[in-house]
Amino acid sequence: MRTLLILSALFMLAACGGQSDATKLLQIQIDSLQKKLNDTYKPGLGEFMLGIQLHHAKLWFAGTNQNWSLADFEVKEIGESLDDIKKYCTDRPEVKSISMIDPGISSINAAIQKKDLQLFKKGFIELTGNCNGCHKNTQHAFNVVIIPTALPVVNQEFKPSK
Ligand code: HEC
């Protein structure tokens, strides 16, 4: 009986030793995965903003050409970038102000729904004001967004297809 006890104690010790080796190995794997995660490329806030800038300009030409399908697509692209910012730019305190853009997005959506050019133009001015409002709020007032004065690209049709 005594021998059995000693034997099972030894066995448990060995088992514990084995487990801690496995735990160490797992920890090494976790550390290396963590390092890979930390080194994964994530676009920065400025890169998302460049994308939003382009969609903002395309939205203007889609809407003023009453190409409502394209306008709807462009405003959704802005929405996706905003979602990505919330997901990937959590290290940027400015992101707390991101909902400042919501009223402009809602107005644009309403105008697209009603296919109303005048409402669209009003909504676009509001949206652009929201962009600048957030820039002011986040010490980036020098980034001034305006209503586009020229086509942002020359290789895309903005008029609705017949
Ligand atoms: C969180 C509030 C916020 C909102 C809303 C916002 N921006 Fe920005 N924007 C920023 C911040 C912060 C920066 C600076 C990013 C950086 O550090 O690179 C920026 C930068 C920019 C830049 C400069 C990018 C460059 O590298 O030249 C442009 C252009 C821009 N935003 C356009 C827009 C447009 C267009 C809208 C609206 C459709 C908009 N932004 C809405 C906060 C915002």
Domains of the chain: 45-137 (1.20.120.290)
Q: How far apart are CA 60 and CA 131, in angstroms?
A: 14
Residues in the chain where the model's pLDDT stays below 50: none
pLDDT at 5: 60
Tokens of 114: 């009603």
Give CA 104 to chain center in angstroms. Answer: 18
- pLDDT tens readout for residues 117-133: 999 999 999 999 999 99
Does 138 contact ligand 1 (Cβ within 6 A)?
yes
Mutation pick for ligand 1 pocket among 49, 99, 145, 146 (CB with most ligand atoms within 8 Å) = 49
pLDDT at 162: 82
Q: How far apart are CA 63 and CA 104, in angstroms?
A: 14
- The SS3 of residue 56 is helix
- Measured from the Cα of 100, ligand 1's closest atom is 5
pLDDT at 17: 53
Does 135 contact ligand 1 (Cβ within 6 A)?
yes
Does 46 contact ligand 1 (Cβ within 6 A)?
yes
Residues 6+ apart with CB under 8 A from 68: 62, 112, 115, 160
| CA 137 to ligand 1 center in whole angstroms | 11
- pLDDT tens readout for residues 38-47: 899 989 999 9
Give CA 38 to chain center in angstroms. Answer: 18
pLDDT at 45: 97
- Contact of 75 with 62, CB cutoff 8 Å: no
User: What are the backbone angles phi and psi of residue 149, rounded to the nearest 5°?
Assistant: -100, -10
Does 49 contact ligand 1 (Cβ within 6 A)?
yes
pLDDT at 19: 72
Does 105 contact ligand 1 (Cβ within 6 A)?
no
| CA 82 to ligand 1 center in whole angstroms | 11
**pTM for this prediction:** 0.87
